[in-house]
């Protein structure tokens, strides 16, 4: 193979995306080859036009392990020994949530932005990205392009409103790609698909057929509420707490530990600030909770002690002996505890600072009759405990029978101090 010639087998479904277009999108379910197509297109563009600069982004990227970097590297190894890109060619991997109106300017002059997991992209991030990637075509090379791959969640998600609405951008090409369109669909994924078809009929259409995320009938939350109140930055904050919903078991196959940071702003509204939930040992999730506590300069950690009792507090104190822990006990169902918090959302009293797709999915599966998801709502439980602590007057009826903390600050005032945000 010569250094300037690539042979890339391409599924027929992606052929419309081989033509030049300002916007290119592929949406669908698992195993459809979307990410592989755009990873190959990244390598192809760099080889065909030396000096190309491409940024691969997602809404939240805490580490390179969460990016498409490994897939792109695999394509480079498979398709060519190296990428010769004189003139400053580069491929970057970044999280959009880390950008500001000033820092996004560092991407001016890039040829392509590839947005992976685009269903999580916020309106703010799209508004930053679209005018930044703006090079005109020349006789030697095409103009800048924005590529998107995603598994749709809801018609109101910003990427769907941009590319699947009745009025998409004029110079755009969008395809739906499914597992059956992938001629390279492996046998091991076929086994996984059939398993989900038999055992997860409520989730199958979303996971494999690319249909919108199911929402429970009569759910207490909907995605429109999240989008309407989403914020890119928190205001000056008053009280901040870390909520923990410990897993029922300590082994690797147990539920996740729900670990979230929430607070009350100086404006009197509630804010979900961070989600560090994970499947981990007690020592690991305790360290993660303390790290989140330090990151947000929190005032206390609120923990449910139904599963683990005194061990939960002891585990936290083994990591940080002086951390303030408020213990709470659940005596009624999750849906009963959720209702007053859902009411705060419906009153536009709570905002999410950034996107939290796993948490928001759990919220959309909680109904007045109970949780209808196939997993455990660990993240949601942690949020509920946080806001039950932060809005005691709004949740008093439930708190009187559910929420019996051993430590309470009855002198709490949301304006008691100023916080300096670095």
Calculate mean pLDDT across residues 396-411: 46
List, in order, residues 6 or more apart from 101 with CB less than 8 Å away: 128
Number of CB atoms found within 10 A of residue 420's CB: 6
CB 320 within 8 A of CB 285: no
Q: Do residues 150 and 119 lie in contact, with contact meaning Cβ atoms separated by under 8 Å?
A: yes
Question: In 3D, which of 353, 359, 355 has the Cα closest to residue 383?
Answer: 359
Mean pLDDT calculated for residue range 49-54 = 90
Enumerate the domain spans of the chain: 12-181, 223-402
3-state DSSP assignment of residue 175: strand
Which residues, 6+ apart, have CB-to-CB distance to 330 below 8 Å? 304, 306, 337, 402
pLDDT of residue 1: 39
To the nearest whole number, what is the mean pLDDT of the chain?
85
Q: What pLDDT score does 38 carry?
A: 94
The residues near 327 (Cβ < 8 Å, ≥ 6 apart) are: 303, 305, 312, 313, 405, 406, 407
pLDDT tens digits for 235-281? Answer: 999 999 999 998 876 555 557 899 999 999 999 999 999 999 999 99
pLDDT at res. 67: 52
Q: What percent of the chain has pLDDT over 90?
A: 55
Region of 343 on the Ramachandran plot (φ > 0 left; ψ -120 to 50 alpha; else beta):
alpha
Q: Write b or e for each residue in 60-99: b if 16 or more Cβ atoms lie within 10 A of its Cβ, otherwise e.
A: bbeeeeebbbebbeebbeebbeebebeeebebebbbbbeb
Q: Measured between alpha carbons, how far is residue 357 from residues 117, 362, 364, 380, 406 in Å?
A: 10, 9, 11, 12, 33
**118-132, 140-154, 230-244, 246-260: range with lowest mean pLDDT:** 246-260
Where is average pLDDT lowest: 105-114, 186-195, 307-316?
A: 307-316
- Cα angle 330-324-97, degrees, rounded to a multiple of 5: 85
Dihedral angle sign, alpha carbons of residues 185, 186, 192, 197: positive
Q: What is the pLDDT of residues 205-215, one digit of tens each?
A: 889 999 888 77
- Given a cut of 50, is residue 421 above it in pLDDT? no
pLDDT of 218: 84
pLDDT digits (tens, 9 = 90+) for 74-105: 665 555 444 445 456 888 888 888 888 888 89
pLDDT value of position 92:
85
For residue range 168-195, list pLDDT tens digits in order: 999 999 999 999 999 999 999 999 999 9
Q: Which CATH number fits domain 223-402: 3.40.50.2300, 3.40.800.20, 3.40.50.620, 3.30.420.280?
A: 3.30.420.280
SS3 of residue 275 by DSSP: strand
Question: Which pLDDT value is given to residue 81?
Answer: 42
| Highest-scoring range by mean pLDDT, 234-243, 321-330, 368-377 | 234-243
Confidence category of residue 322, pLDDT binned at 50, 70, 90: very high
Q: What's the burial of 229, exposed, middle or buried (CB within 10 Å: 0-12/13-18/19+)?
A: middle
Contact predicate 108/29, CB 8 Å: no
Q: 């703010």: which residue's tokens?
A: 124
pLDDT-derived band of residue 351, with 50, 70 and 90 as boundaries?
very high
pLDDT at position 352 over 60: yes
DSSP E strands in 247-387: the ranges are 258-265, 270-275, 300-304, 325-328, 350-352, 366-367, 370-371
**Structure token digits, residue 153:** 């969640």
Alpha carbon of 111 to those of 3, 171, 280, 393: distances in Å? 21, 16, 40, 53
Look up the CATH number of domain 12-181. 3.40.50.300
pLDDT band of residue 417 (cuts 50, 70, 90) is: very low
Give the global pTM.
Answer: 0.65
**Fold match, 12-181 / 223-402:** no
Instruction: Say whether pLDDT at 406 is over 80.
Output: no
Judge whether 247 and 256 are in contact, CB under 8 Å.
yes
Cα–Cα distance for residue pair 412/239, rounded to 1 Å? 9
pLDDT of residue 249: 67
Please compute the mean of the pLDDT values over residues 43-64 and round it to a whole number: 83
Q: What is the pLDDT of residue 99?
A: 86
Could you report the per-residue pLDDT of 285-305, keeping only the tens digit for each? 999 999 999 999 999 999 988
The residue with greater pLDDT, 330 or 261, is 261
User: What pLDDT score does 237 carry?
Assistant: 96
Residues 220 and 367 sit within 8 Å (Cβ to Cβ): yes
Residue 228 DSSP SS3: helix
């Amino acid at each position: 193979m010569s250094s300037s010639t690539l042979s890339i087998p391409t599924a027929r479904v992606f052929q419309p995306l081989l033509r030049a277009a300002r916007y290119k999108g592929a949406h669908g379910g698992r195993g459809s080859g979307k990410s592989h197509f755009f990873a190959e297109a990244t390598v192809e563009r760099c080889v065909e036009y030396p000096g190309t600069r491409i940024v691969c982004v997602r809404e939240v990227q805490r580490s390179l392990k969460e990016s498409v970097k490994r897939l792109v590297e695999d394509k480079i190894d498979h398709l060519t020994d190296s990428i010769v890109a004189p003139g400053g060619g580069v491929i970057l991997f970044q999280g959009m949530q880390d950008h500001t109106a000033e820092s996004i300017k560092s991407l001016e002059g890039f040829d392509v932005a590839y947005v992976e997991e685009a269903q999580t992209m916020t309106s703010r991030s799209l508004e930053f990205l679209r005018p930044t990637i703006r090079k005109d075509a020349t006789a030697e090379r095409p103009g800048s392009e924005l590529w998107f791959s995603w598994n749709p969640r809801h018609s109101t998600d910003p990427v769907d409103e941009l590319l699947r609405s009745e009025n998409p951008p004029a110079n755009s090409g969008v395809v739906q790609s499914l597992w059956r369109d992938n001629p390279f669909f492996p046998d091991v994924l076929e086994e996984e698909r059939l398993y989900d078809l038999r055992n997860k009929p409520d989730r199958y259409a979303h996971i494999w057929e690319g249909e919108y995320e199911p929402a429970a009938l009569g759910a207490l939350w909907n995605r429109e509420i999240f989008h309407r109140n989403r914020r890119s930055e928190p205001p000056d904050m008053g009280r901040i707490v870390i909520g923990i919903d410990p897993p029922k078991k300590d082994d690797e196959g147990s539920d996740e530990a729900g670990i979230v940071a929430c607070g009350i702003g100086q404006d009197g509204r509630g804010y979900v600030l961070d989600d560090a939930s994970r499947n981990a040992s007690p020592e690991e999730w305790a360290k993660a909770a303390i790290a989140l506590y330090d990151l947000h300069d929190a005032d206390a950690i609120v923990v449910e002690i139904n599963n683990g009792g005194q061990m939960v507090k002891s585990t936290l104190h083994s990591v940080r002996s002086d951390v303030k822990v408020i213990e709470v006990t659940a005596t009624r169902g999750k849906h009963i505890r959720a209702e007053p918090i859902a009411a705060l959302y419906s009153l536009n009293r709570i905002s999410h600072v950034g996107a939290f797709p796993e948490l928001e999915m759990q919220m959309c599966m909680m109904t007045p009759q109970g949780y209808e998801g196939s997993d455990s709502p660990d993240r949601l439980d942690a949020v509920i405990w946080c806001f039950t602590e932060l809005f005691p007057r709004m949740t008093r009826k439930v708190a009187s029978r559910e929420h019996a903390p051993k430590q309470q600050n009855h002198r709490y005032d949301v304006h008691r101090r100023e916080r300096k945000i670095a």
